[in-house]
Structure 1
Amino acid sequence: MRIGCPREIKNREYRVGLTPESVKELVSHGHDVWVEAGAGLGIGADDAQYRTAGARVVDGPQAIFAECEMIVKVKEPQAEERAMLREGQLLYTYLHLAPDPEQTADLVKSGATCIAYETVTGAGNTLPLLKPMSQVAGRMSIQAGATALEKAHGGRGVLLGGVPGVLPGKVAVIGGGVVGFNAAQMAAGLGADVTILDRSPEVLERVGTYFEARAKTRFANTANVEDAVMEADLVIGAVLIPGAAAPKLVTRAMLPRMKPGAVLVDVAIDQGGCFETSHATTHDDPTYIVDGIVHYCVANMPGAVARTSTYALNNVTLPHALRMAELGWRDALRSDPHLANGLNVHAGRVTYPAVARELGYEELTLEDALG
């Protein structure tokens, strides 16, 4: 199979879909890999390294989109990339379609087959292709939140860990999954006063056992979420409903009652955000203020630590890419129901139930798509 890896063009996105090591693995199995010139510079991999690995390095994305059967990316295709997709082409990347009707419409129009990293499942209903970026984003959320809390950045001027004789900052983490767990780890490690909220008793038991006295747990009903948000210096939004838009758990009405200069970090922004006042921001302009509350809503947080993120991502995405290249996407999905859950769009139809429901499309069933 001819596999293409274009350079990412989203704002400050330095990750790349394939590392030189991943290219070498694909080439060793007899596949033809095209990489856009400069695609790996953000992770410290130059064109010579890709050529040594066996890739054909091409100028610009046009040839890749025109000639390659499978496109491997990191972030959702931007409008100019979507315009180059064609019928029958396989796109393998993060998509986050539920809160993005424009992208969904363009992918449907393209006729391409689109597999989303974030809905590929694993044993125990896990999301293994999302997990490494959730780990990165969870850890980064505390770094970003700590910076936003500085007075020069509009925050309260609170040091999360405090100092002797001064109480530490209070951190509320809404959601105890992978993002929330990693955020709580970082916050507790700094010495902050951490509260983790979740609706699952099993999750609360697990994180409570892990953190013991280093973090508190609360059931995430409306009253407890509101109470924790009012007390917090920093709130981390770490809620995920796979494939669907995130619920709005912090409302606009809550903001005037929060501590002035408190910070909201919305890690769920890729799925539309879990704060009512959230809208996506960029690394160039990461924060804005509403009712005296600082919002950090960067939609590609892991792109700032591109080398770590790219290698962590390739560790989990490469096996599926190789399998689809070896078997063809249909046989690969037929033989692996977890990979089949990644199918979001095929031949002008939406195939993922939550996306179809959220955006009003008639769903093409997986069985019909594979048939």
Structure 2
Amino acid sequence: MKIGVPIEIKNNENRVGMTPSGVFELTKRNHTVYVQKNAGFNSGFFDENYVSAGATILDTIEEVYEAAEMIVKVKEPIEPEYKLIKPNQVVFTYFHFASSEVLTKAMIASQSVCIAYETVEDADGSLPLLIPMSEVAGRMSIQQGAKYLEKPIMGRGILLGGIPGVPPAKVLILGAGVVGLQAARMASGLGASVYILDINMKALRHVSDVMPNNVVSEFSSEYNIRKHIKDADLIIGGVLIKGAKAPKLITKDMLKDMRPGTVMVDVAVDQGGCFETTKPTTHQDPTYIIDEVVHYSVANMPGAVPYTSTMGLTNVTLPYVIKLANQGWEKACENDDSLAKGLNIVKGEVVYKEIVEAFDFVV
């Protein structure tokens, strides 16, 4: 198969869809890999590394899309890429369709085969291609939240872990999944007072089993959320519904109950966000303020740490890329139930229920 790896052109997206190691694994199986010039540069992988692994370097993104039967990337295609995607071409990447009707309609029109990393699902319900980036984003949410609590950035002026004689910040985490656990791990390690809310009692019992005493688990309800936001310094939104829009757990009217300088980090922004006031931002301009509350909602948080993120992502995507290349998408999805769940749009037809429900598409 002919596989293309383009440069990511989303704002400040520094990751790359394949490392030289991945290229080597594919070329030794007699596949052809086309890598756009400097595609891996910001992640610390150079053209000579790709060439030595067997890749062919192409100068432009247009050449990569034209040459490839399958595109392997990181983030969803954006508007300049729509016209480059060909009928029957496999595009394997994060899509998060439920948060963008424009993207969904563009991919329907392209007649391509869209396989979404975020909906590949194992038998136990876990999302193996989302987990590494959720781990990165969960940990980064505390790093970024701690920074934006600083007064020069309009935060409350609080050191997350406090100091002797001065209490630490209170961190409220919504969701006890991968993002929430990683955020709690980082926040508790820095000495913050952490409250983590979820409606899944099994998840909350796991929190209680593995987290230190400065992490308190509590059942999630609107009443409890309204109670905690009144004195929370940092609020992390980490709620995910597979393939669907995130629920709005904090509404605009709740902001008036928060203290000025409270920071909200919405890790669920790719799925529409779990705060009503969330709007996607970029690493270039990451925050905005509504009702004196600082909002951080960068839609590609792991792109700021591209080496770690690229390595973590490609560790889990490569086995699926090899299956798709060796068997073709139809046979690979027929033989692998997990990969089959990654099928979102196939040659103009939406085949993932949550996307149909998000936009009331008729199938």
TM-score with structure 2 setting the length:
0.99
Alignment of 1:111-190 (within 5 A): 111-190=111-190
Where 2:230 maps in the other structure, the secondary structure is helix
Deviation at 1:229, TM superposition (A): 1.6
- Counterpart for residue 34 of structure 1: 34
Deviates more, 1:222-231 or 1:92-101: 222-231
Report the equivalent of 2:210: 210
Q: CA deviation at 1:362?
A: 2.4
1:367 aligned partner: none
Partner of 2:294: 294
Distance in 2 (CA, whole Å) between partners of 1:229 and 1:55 is 51
- 2-structure distance, mates of 1:341, 1:246: 19
Structure 1 residue 119: Cα displacement: 0.2
Q: Which amino acid aligns with 1:174?
A: L
User: Which amino acid in structure 2 is aligned with residue 219 of structure 1?
Assistant: F
Deviation for aligned residue 1:45: 1.0
Q: Give the match for residue 16 of structure 1.
A: 16
Query: Aligned residue for 1:81?
Result: 81
- Aligned to 1:213, the other structure's residue is in SS state coil
1:96-115 alpha-carbon deviations (Å, 9 max, x no partner)? 00010000000000000000
Deviations 1:20-39 (A, max 9, x none): 11001111111000000010
In the TM superposition, residue 64 of structure 1 has moved relative to its aligned partner by 1.3
Per-residue deviation at 1:153?
0.5
Correspondence for 2:278: 278
- Segments ≥4 residues shifted beyond 2 Å: none
Cα deviations by residue, 1:171-216 (Å, 9 ceiling, x for unpaired) = 0000000000000000000000000000001000001111141200
Which residue of structure 2 lines up, in the alignment, with residue 192 of structure 1? Answer: 192
Pairwise CA distance, 1:166: 0.4
Letter in 2 for 1:260: P
Question: 2:250 — aligned with what?
Answer: 250
Match of 1:52 in 2: 52
Unaligned runs of 5+ in 1: 364-371
SS of the residue 1:231 aligns to: coil
Unaligned 5+ segments in structure 2 are none
Give the superposition deviation at 1:19.
0.4
Q: Could you give the per-residue CA deviations for residues 234-292 of structure 1, whole angstroms, max 9, x where no partner exists?
A: 00000000000000000100101101100000000000000000000000000000000
Aligned 8 A contact 2:121 2:128 in 1: yes
State the partner residue of 2:238.
238
Q: Secondary structure at the match of 2:3?
A: strand
SS state of the match for residue 232, structure 1? Answer: coil
Contact 2:116 2:342 in 1 (8 A): yes
SS at 2:179 equivalent? helix
Counterpart amino acid of residue 339 in structure 1: L
Superposed CA offset, 1:55-83 (max 9, x none): 00000111111121000000000111111
Q: Judge conservation of contact 2:229–2:257 (CA < 8 Å) in 1.
A: no
Amino acid at match of 1:197: L
Task: State the superposition RMSD in angstroms.
Answer: 0.7
Aligned partners of 2:188 and 2:212 also within 8 Å: no
1:215 & 1:244 partners in 2: Cα distance?
29
Segment of structure 1 superposing worse, 220-229 or 29-38: 220-229
- Partner of 1:124: helix, strand, or coil? coil
Match of 1:366 in 2: none
- Counterparts of 1:56-67 in structure 2, within 5 Å, are 56-67=56-67
Counterpart CA distance in 2 for 1:267 and 1:229 is 17
Scaled by the length of structure 1, the TM-score of the pair is 0.97
Q: What amino acid sits opposite 1:273 in the alignment?
A: G
Whole-angstrom CA distance in 1 between matches of 2:352 and 2:235: 31
Match in the other structure for 1:369:
none
1:182 match: secondary structure: helix
Instruction: Kindly provide the amino acid, as one letter, of the partner of residue 347 in structure 2.
Output: A
Instruction: Provide the rounded CA distance (Å) in 1 between the counterparts of 2:362 and 2:119.
Output: 19
Q: Which residue of 2 aligns with 1:263?
A: 263
Q: Which amino acid aligns with 1:341?
A: K
